[in-house]
Amino acid sequence: MSGARILITGAAGCVGQYTAEHLYRHSDAQLLLLLRDPSKLKAVPADDPRITLLVGDLRDLEPHAAAIASATRVIHTATAWGDPERAQQVNVVAVKRLLALLDPERLEQVIYFSTASILDRNLQLLPEAMAYGTEYIQTKAQCLQDLEAHPLAERIVAVFPTLVFGGRVLPGDPHPTSYLTAGVKEAFPWLWLAKWLRTDASFHFIHAADIATVCAHLATTPQGPNPEPGQGTVRRLVLGQAPITINQAVASLVRWRRGWLPPVGLDLTGWLIEGLIKLLRIEVNAWDRFSIRQRHFVHAPVSPPERFGLTSYAPTLEAVLETAGVPHRGRLPG
């Protein structure tokens, strides 16, 4: 990897910092870190000669055009949601501009971050993503379609993280805490209800450290034609561990808190789900309702670190809870 210059966008985020740290510790690459707030960068030393900070917004890349053109690899984690206009500008328009600023004579690979929510079981784009998706889902689906037709498509690896854990529920970890890990303590007060319910649903999850392991592996090995069968020019990799059912997840959480799990529970049928939505005053949109009907967000193949001969940091939900510092019992922090 001598001479490699790896640009990481969204470098102050949860996945961005895990990835930057992994590459800093396990490669000799020069790291170009694009971020909006340098004060949030804690996992790597900003003053190290191997690290160059590119401070700015993804929607205004011109001040960093020369540095971007010098990159040999790109790991594009930056994204936006919540505001439809901002999501369009960041998730679609800015991606096109970023690719246009890269030097095709130097560029070897782009690792583009999407979301597994837009793919079906066989890693094909879900028609419902464009029909019912939030602004985040729709812009990610649109960008994937654009990338398949891009002149640099053969150098692009699209990664689709599943549910992402990362950081800790207690202070002191240099990595940002993912939204999912931060939400763990919000879930425990509801275990008294959840343990009495059963539902036929399943999902994948992955720890940000394992995402970093896979991306660092991809970014430090030669890029070639897409080896995945049944795909287009852009390689698609869903990042996640083996699927787990909702019932298994609830049981793991109850056991972790050393609680009692009833041997049988009430099946969550359609009418009961609607009742709980009203009782708990949960706001649902068209995408939420599609997800409730879909139930099983699973994919094949799925790509944990082991698929590349590597070792996972948190291969099980129990390992996730352990690494997050979730207490086994007693009061949760905050």
Q: Per-domain residue ranges for the chain?
A: 5-164+205-239, 168-204+242-297+314-323
Residue 209 belongs to what H/E stretch? helix 208-219
pLDDT of 120: 96
Distances (CA, A) of 300 to 32, 252, 272, 304: 33, 24, 31, 12
Greatest distance between any 2 Cα atoms in the chain:
62
- DSSP calls for 230-274: T--SSEEEEE--S-EEHHHHHHHHHHHTT----S--EE--HHHHH
* CATH superfamily, with its number, for domain 5-164+205-239: NAD(P)-binding Rossmann-like Domain (3.40.50.720)
pLDDT of 240: 98
pLDDT of 284: 82
Cβ 156 vs Cβ 110: under 8 Å: yes
pLDDT of 214: 98
pLDDT of 2: 58
pLDDT of 334: 59
pLDDT of 222: 96
Cα 155 off chain centre by: 20
- DSSP calls for 124-160: PBPHHHHHH--HHHHHHHHHHHHHHTSTTGGGEEEEE
pLDDT of 171: 81
Q: Which two tokens stand for residue 242?
A: 């083996």
pLDDT of 209: 98
Q: Which two tokens stand for residue 305?
A: 């670190």
pLDDT tens track of the chain, all 334 residues?
557 999 999 999 999 999 999 999 999 999 999 999 999 999 999 999 999 999 999 999 999 999 999 999 999 999 999 899 999 999 999 999 999 999 999 999 999 999 999 999 999 999 999 999 999 999 999 999 999 999 999 999 999 999 999 999 888 889 999 999 999 888 888 899 899 999 999 999 999 999 999 999 999 999 999 999 999 999 999 999 999 999 999 999 999 988 899 989 989 887 777 787 788 788 888 888 888 888 899 999 999 999 999 999 999 999 999 999 998 876 666 5
Determine the Cα–Cα distance for residues 160 and 211; give it in Å rounded to an integer: 10
Determine the Cα–Cα distance for residues 299 and 84; give it in Å rounded to an integer: 28
